Amino acid sequence: MNIESAGESLPLLEGLRTARAMRRLKPDPVPIELIRKVCEAGTFAPSGGNRQPWQFIAVTAPERRAYIASLYRARFREYIRPAVEAALDPTYPDAKRRNMKAAIYLAEHLHEAPVHLFVAGWTRRGAPQSQALFPAIQNILLACRAVGLGASLTTAHRADGEEIDRYLGLDPVKTPSIALIPIGWPKGRFGRPTRRSIDTCFFVDAVPEQVG
């Protein structure tokens, strides 16, 4: 695989429209240079005052991924899975039920994802600079799409944030991890995710009274 040329041809707008969350990943390894490449794409996102408050930690060692996955799975089973399953209403649209099942799959198989990419960032006046980190995170998700890597965004690890941050060598107060992006070669196919029509949320000059 030529890392430098990987993913360079996918058109931007097509990529934006088809970068859906890929939560079912193959356990096969991913070249670390490719992870570096998608993180580098992340650094071109804007941040206030160009402060670039990000750090990227790609966890690849199997025993380290197993530990992180064990924390994640335990929390998920305790707090999230019951709610997700209770909400698996058969009247829900297929797409919504598929998403919920994929979230359960991810929690149960996180240890298999070959890369656990954490995005951490310096805090400002005690608060994480989310508005500077999420554009970079989105760039990373898009760059994964470009090079054919499956990825999704979760913040559920924050329930064990302090423990995980220390494990990663991060100061939980100064540079907490904000997002976990499990990355690997996808089992499924990229495609347009389910979204409501732009015409339900796009307004010219002002929001009409019956909507706002």
Binding residues among 131-150 for a second copy as defined by CB under 8 A: 131, 134-135, 137-139, 141-143, 145-146
Residue ranges in 27-56 that form contacts with a second copy under rule CB under 8 A: 32, 36, 39-41, 43-46, 48, 50, 52, 54-56
Q: Mark 153-172 with x for binding to a second copy (rule: CB under 8 A) and - for no binding.
A: x-x-----------xxxxx-
Which residue from 34, 72, 76, 99 is in contact with a second copy, where contact means CB under 8 A? 99
* Cβ contact 132:50 at 8 Å: no
Total residues contacting a second copy (rule CB under 8 A)? 75
Q: How many residues does the chain have?
A: 212
Would you state the structure tokens that stand for residue 160, as one six-digit string?
């064990």
Q: How far is the CB of 169 from a second copy (least distance, A)?
A: 4
The three-state secondary structure class of 37 is helix
- The residue among 69 and 137 lying less far from a second copy, judged by its C-beta, is 137
Cα 157 from Cα 210, distance rounded (Å): 39
**For residue 47, what are its two tokens?**
């941040």
By CB under 8 A, which span of 4-12, 22-30, 70-78, 106-114 interacts with a second copy? 4-12
User: Among residues 189 and 196, whose Cβ is nearest to a second copy?
Assistant: 196
Phi first, then psi, for residue 182 (nearest 5°) are -70, 130
Residue type, 47: S
Handedness of CA 181, 187, 191, 194 (dihedral sign): negative
Within 106-135, which residues bind a second copy (CB under 8 A)? 130-131, 134-135
Choices 7-15, 22-30, 70-78, 106-114 (CB under 8 A): range interacting with a second copy: 7-15
- Classify residue 124 by its DSSP letter: E
- Is the Cβ–Cβ distance between 82 and 16 less than 8 Å? no
